Structure 1
Amino acid sequence: MGSNRRSVPDYWKWFTEGRYGAFIHWGPYAEYGRGEQSLFREHMDQREYEERACRWNPQRFDPQQWAYVIRKAGMKYACFTTRHHDGYCMWDTKYTDYSSGRQAPRRDYVKEFAEAFRAEGLRIGLYYSWTDWRIPAFFDGPDKDPDGWEAMRRYMHGQVEELLTNYGPIDHFFFDGAWPRTYADLGSTELLEKMRRLQPHILINNRLGAAGPGQAGHADGGQGAGERADMGDFGTPEHRIVADPDRLWESCQVTTWRLWGYANGERWRPADVWLDMLCECAETGGGGGGNLLLNVGPQPDGQLPPEFAERALEVGRWLDVHGEAVYGTDGGALTDFVTRGRQTMKGNCLYLIIRFWDGRPELRLADMTSPVRSVTLLTTGQPLAFERQGDDLLIRGLPSERPTRLFPVIKVECEGKPETNAWGKQRLWAGDPGRIADWARTRGTSVYAGGAIP
């Protein structure tokens, strides 16, 4: 359960300790109610879309209310879409008039977001898309349109510098939409140097352009959509949870079934699915686990959808009680616990996050070799009786009724760091098959019941 992950400076530890953030996709695309990419996916008329975007003027945007809900939800940071692929800018940029500052709202939404969320004690993240579907030069590239491309690159670099200059400390920066450009096209190396001079403690993601032509892939994690193995401070698996062994990572996920921007009629995932994604991120990987960046698409008028607020606050109440099992945990399940739920560790403690509560009074935790000091049902604070039987820990006195609508948590405090045996280190479909043969041999060698040859 080791890791080659790069060492994390102290000024980035807020990221792993926080574990849970909000992704906020909001812009004039919300008016259409079909997600954030309807302009491209439906091949809309560019001029009609632009005219409607310039008229968009949300009247119920209240960043203080957003920030309050996000904090009460247990999230520790938020990342706001400053410019998505449609090119509309959510701040008063000097580089274009296609912005909330120059069009109908006459408001700098980035400024309002940053001030309100910072006031609630939340870390500030900004999202910026390289892509602008309105500009041919981005897709023609430097070979077909060198002058147009150079103007586009100056535009992008200038806007990023603007975002990192005018809004105080920025903790987290999420690039997106590098396809089909390479990091050399985008000037990513040069831009990152400028960004670090402006904001020395900033965390920058890995969507910085492909290594070469034709090497960009899918925008869902791994090495897709310009995501680099050798550039950026954190990995960004999208719509899935997979550990990056070499650096910090953050899985970005939707709270609905698919779309990021507001969508009329979209189906919502229930709160237990949200929580399970968070716990899976904390558990996944042996090098400290990962973060969950969980999305909301505010309504066109600026309000948070009530379905989001209801579920977010339910998870927040769970975290009020069980947060120590998630925040700042070390990552990596100690033993094979799939039949019950998930595990996280922190210091001398192992946390059993029970997804499947069977109502039986006893739980057998196999393959944990560490001496145990105490066992507590964290959900209620109730001490639980326990007994060691070899490498098994028997936990007794569990209530028949699940003590919370979401996931109960059992805290096992050990004498030292929790340890396991070979079965915990080598899981199903992995490790030395000889250990499985030895285990099978205890019943015999025959295919007949009982293992004996008749």
Structure 2
Amino acid sequence: MSSSWQGGQGDVLRSFADSLRRHEIKVGVYISPADENQYLHGVYANGSARSRRAIPTPVEGDDRAGDAAVRSFTLDATDYGAHMLNQLYEVLTEYGPIDEVWFDGAQGRIPPEKVETYDWDSWYAVIRALAPNATVAVRGPDVRWVGNEGGLARENEWSVVPVKDSGNGSIDYALKYDAPDQGSREALAEARAVAQYVQWWPAECDVSIRPGWFYHEDEQPKSVEQLTDIWFRSVGRNSVLLLNIPPDKRGLLPEADVARLREFRERIGLELPEDFARGVRVRADGRRPAYAVDGDPDTAWACPAPSRGTLTVDLGKAREADRIRLGEDIRRGQQLEHAVIEARVPGSSGWSLVAEVDTVGASRVLTLPAPVRAREWRLRVTGSRGAVRLAEFGLYRSRM
């Protein structure tokens, strides 16, 4: 209302949400808990106790008054927590459906002796009620921050990690957020003293296409090579990639960034151009081996038992491969702890080791140092927590 934009009548979130839906893109909102304006107004970090609050909180002239269709809640919150609840209520009822709510846990630039304990339990409750299909990300129970802003996952990224409640129902890391290992057996043992349980909490890798999160005319987007490296070290390591594209002063995505996105998409297509293991002959122990090469993420080869299982792929003729893509059926969890990939290389006796892998999860992409030419390939599971269900075994020859 105080802005000169559209004469004080503009609604930037409405314009944003409507534009995304016109282009069939899901709508997410980043609502930072730290609010320095509310600190200046005496609401944020004012030391108020949690008490029962009516949400939405009626205000003078509220056009929702007396509307029987308006859903209401009574939730525990501080003064600021109630402000956030009302803001969440407005966003989730006036602009929905909202597909993701993205929090951080920052405290803002307030005096060091001032602290606001966030009402996570109440915030989560109102989101689950008003946007039941929304992902609550980063400082939320559905997706966690990988621990850096470079877009880089760990070499072995586990989706099941030890967690603790750090106050008011907050889902928090049991180990340090940037610990080099969050989910191996060793990490789980290390966390036993502080962890309350383990949580399915997959990692999200956030990074900006530019040096910073906001648009500056003197900055340029990352190169295709940089973005491709990030992709392999995020999506290729069982993580979600969140690539920030900051709008310019027109409210549009800069032409240079849009052009770079197209180049980036073309590059990934060249890195993984054709899965020539798709639909080929396979044999294996366990059940339904053909499901590993049918291209359907909802079907999977089931290994016969934990730490056992061999899948052999026959391409029909010798083919060169330098990229291997694997994926587990994560509806059954993330189970694989070690596997070897081998090939019958012409001119050698028996099977030759091509690669080893300690985690897979939803998506794991392995890049070989040099192309390997073979007709028969196989994957042997040699370590796992439960029987592995492999939904994808793909072989590619990059065109780079």
TM-score by length of 1: 0.44
The structure whose residues are more often strand, as a share, is 2
Higher relative contact order (CA 8 A, sep 6+): 1
